[in-house]
Amino acid sequence: MKNPEIKSLFKYSPIEKNQLNALAECKLWYSKAARFNDPFDTRFYIDGRLHAYSNEFDPVKLTKAFGKQMSDSIVSTKISLKGHLDTFKREIEELGILSLAASNKNLLMWSHYAAEHSGMCLEFSREDNNQLTNDKETQPVFYSDNHPRLNPKSLLDKDKRLSSKRRILYTKSRHWEYEQEWRHIVETGDDLYPWPGKLKAVYFGCKVNPQDIKLVKKVINSQNVKFYKAELNTATFGMTFNNI
C-alpha cells in the first residue's frame, strides 16, 4: 500500500435528502467529470499530429494488393487517429469519480463542500484489501501548471491508453492544491456505489442544526461509528472536534 501514513480519507458533504438516502444504503455518489465545477478537470492535450503509420510485412497480403512479388518489401499505411481520440474522450467522460480529502480540518473545504460549516464530513478508513488502498483505483491528485500531455500513438496501445486515463484523471490545476484531494475511480459515473472503505466517524460542522445531527445518527444507527462536532478555536484559525 502506498502512502501508509494516510490512515483515513474524508468526504465533505451537505446534509440533504440525497446524502441521507445514500447514507441509509451505505453508498456514495460517483460523478462524471462533466458535473464538476472545474471546466479544466480531465482536460489534456495531444503532443503531435493525429495520425500514425502502420507497417505491413506480410508478403502474401502485399503481393495480393500490388500484384507482384513483395516478399522483401515493407509498406507503411497512414492511419487517422481522430476516431480513436473521440472514443478515448468518451471513455473518460463515462468514468465515475469520487473525490475525497486527506484532512477533515480544511476550513475552505468545510465552506465550499459542507454547506458553509452546517454539513458533515465522513471518515473512511484505509485498510488492507479495501478499495481505498488499491493503488490502481485510488490515488492522490497530482497538481500541475500544465494539462497532461498525450502522445497520439498511445491511443493505439491498450496498456498506454489505461495509463494515460489514470494520468489525466489524477491531474488538476495547482490552484486546487489546498484540497489535498484523492480520487477513487469506477467504470461508470453518475450513480451510487457502496462505500469504498469502512465508515469510521462522522464530523459535524460548527453551524450544524442539532436536528440534523439526530437525523444522521438515526440513519447510520451503528455503534461502530463515532460522532464529533466542530468547535472553533479561541486563538487560532482552526477547529477542535468534540465527541458527541
Task: Pull the grid cell for residue 16.
Answer: 440533504
Is 53 contained in some domain? no
Q: What is the DSSP annotation of 98-130?
A: EEEES-S--HHHHHHHTTTTTSEEEEEE--TTS
- Where are any strands of DSSP class E within the chain? 8-13, 27-30, 45-46, 51-56, 75-80, 96-101, 120-125, 138-140, 142-144, 149-150, 171-173, 181-186, 191-194, 199-204, 226-232, 239-243
C-alpha–C-alpha distance, residues 169 and 138, integer Å? 11
Is 71 contained in some domain? no
pLDDT of residue 59: 57
0.95 surpassed by pTM: no
What domain range is 140 assigned to? 8-48+96-243
C-alpha–C-alpha distance, residues 213 and 150, integer Å? 47
Is 82 contained in some domain? no
Distances (CA, A) of 96 to 26, 124, 192: 17, 18, 10
Per the DSSP assignment, residues forming a β-bridge with 45 are 149
Determine contact, residues 184/137, Cβ cutoff 8 Å.
yes
Exposure letters 110-141 (e unless 16+ CB within 10 A, then b): beebbbebbbbbbbbebeeeebbbeeeebbbb
Distances (CA, A) of 196 to 10, 58, 138, 159, 183: 11, 49, 10, 25, 11
Is 22 contained in some domain? yes
Is 60 contained in some domain? no
* Phi, psi for residue 216 in degrees, rounded to 5: -65, -45
Side chain identity at residue 99, one-letter code: S
Per-block mean pLDDT, blocks of 10 residues, the chain (244 long): 92 96 96 87 81 52 53 57 86 93 97 97 94 93 93 80 88 95 94 97 97 97 94 94 95
pLDDT of residue 208: 97
Task: Pull the grid cell for residue 66.
Answer: 500490388
Is 76 contained in some domain? no
Number of folded domains in the chain? 1
pLDDT of residue 56: 42
Is 165 contained in some domain? yes
Task: Pull the grid cell for residue 42.
Answer: 480531465
Determine contact, residues 197/235, Cβ cutoff 8 Å.
no
Task: Pull the grid cell for residue 95.
Answer: 468514468
pLDDT of residue 63: 56
Is 148 contained in some domain? yes
pLDDT of residue 55: 47
